[in-house]
A and B are shown apart, each in its own frame.
Chain A
Amino acid sequence: MFNSTPSKANLNPTRSGRLDALRSPSFRHCGEFSLPAMDWQGQKRSEILMLISLVVFGVVAFGVGYAIGSFQIMMLIYGSGVVLTALITVPNWPLFNRHPLKWLDPSEADRHPKPQANTATSKKKVSKQK
C-alpha cells in the first residue's frame, strides 16, 4: 500500500500513471498537475496517524469506562475520538502535501519520447511499483 517516492527515472508519467491521474477527482479542480491532493508521504503519514489514533482512543475509552463503570462515558470518549481523528486525517490538509511530486509538463513530455524498444520490461516495472 505504501508506494515509495518514485525514482528520478520514472518522473515522466508512464501511460498508466497518466490515466490514473486523469481519473482522480481532484483533477477537475486544478489548473496545474498537482495530483493527488495529498502526496505519497502525506498519505502514509495520514494513514498511520489514523490507525494509531483510533486504537489509542479505543483503549483509553475502554479503560476509563471500565474503571468508572460507565458505558456511556466509554462511548462518548470513543465517539469524540473518532470525530477528531476524522477531522485530522481525512481532509486534504496542506501539512500532508509538503513533498508534492513534480509532474512533467505535457509540452515537455512530447520533447522526450517514451522508449520504444523494451516495452515488456517497463510494463513489469510499473506493476511492481503499484
Chain B
Amino acid sequence: MHSFGYRANALVTFAVTILAAMCSLASLSDNFNVPTPTADVKVLNINWFQKQPNGNDEVSLTLNISVDLSSMFTWNTKQVFVFVAAEYETPQNALNQVSLWDGIIPSKEHAKFWIHTTNKYRFIDQGSNLRGKDFNLTLHWHVMPKTGKMFADKIVKSGYHLPEEYR
C-alpha cells in the first residue's frame, strides 16, 4: 500500500470482487420468487393449408394468444422472451417443434396481454404429414435476468387438429 497506483489497484480489484458477490446474490434471490403464470392459445382460423412445390406441407393459422406472465418479473429481471411452438409427431420424427410466434416482454406492465395474429413464422413440415394431424401448442418463456441465471419453462396446450384435406 505504499503508492497511489498500488492502492488504486487494490481498491478496484476488491470493489469488482464485491460487485461479483452482489450480482450472484441478486441472482440467487430470484429463487425466492414463486411465479403463477397463465396462458391460453386459441386457433381462430386455418387460413390455408397447401402442399408446397418441394413436397412440404404448409399451414397458415390465425391465433389468439392471451398471457399473464406478470408474476415472473422480479427486481432482477431484464425481459421475458415468450414464444409459441406447435408440436406434433410424424413417422420420421418422434417430435417436431415449429416456432409460430415470439415476442419480448420488456417489463411487468406489458406482461398481461392478448394478441390476435397470424403465425409470425411459417408452419412448414418436413414432408407431407400434416393432413388430419393432432398437435399441441406450447407456450415457452425465458426469464432473462439482469445478472445471473436464466429460468425457462412452458405450458402445454393440447387438443388442436389440422383439417383432413388441403384447402
Interface of A with B (CB < 8 Å)?
1, 24-26, 36-38, 43-44, 46-47, 50-51, 54-55, 58, 61-62, 65-66, 68-71, 74, 78, 82, 85-86, 89-92
Contacts and interface: CB of A to CB of B under 8 A. Distances in A.
Given A47-B1, A78-B22, A71 B75 contact: yes
Contact of A43 (B1, B11, B19, B22): B1
Given A54-B18, A55-B18, A69 B4 contact: no
B115 interface: no
B10 interface: yes
Interface of B: 1-5, 7-8, 10-11, 14-15, 18-19, 21-22, 25-26, 29, 74-76, 146
B11 A54 contact: yes
Contacts of A24: 2-3
Q: Is the interface of A mostly helix, strand, loop or mixed?
A: helix
A36 B8 contact: no
B75 A91 contact: no
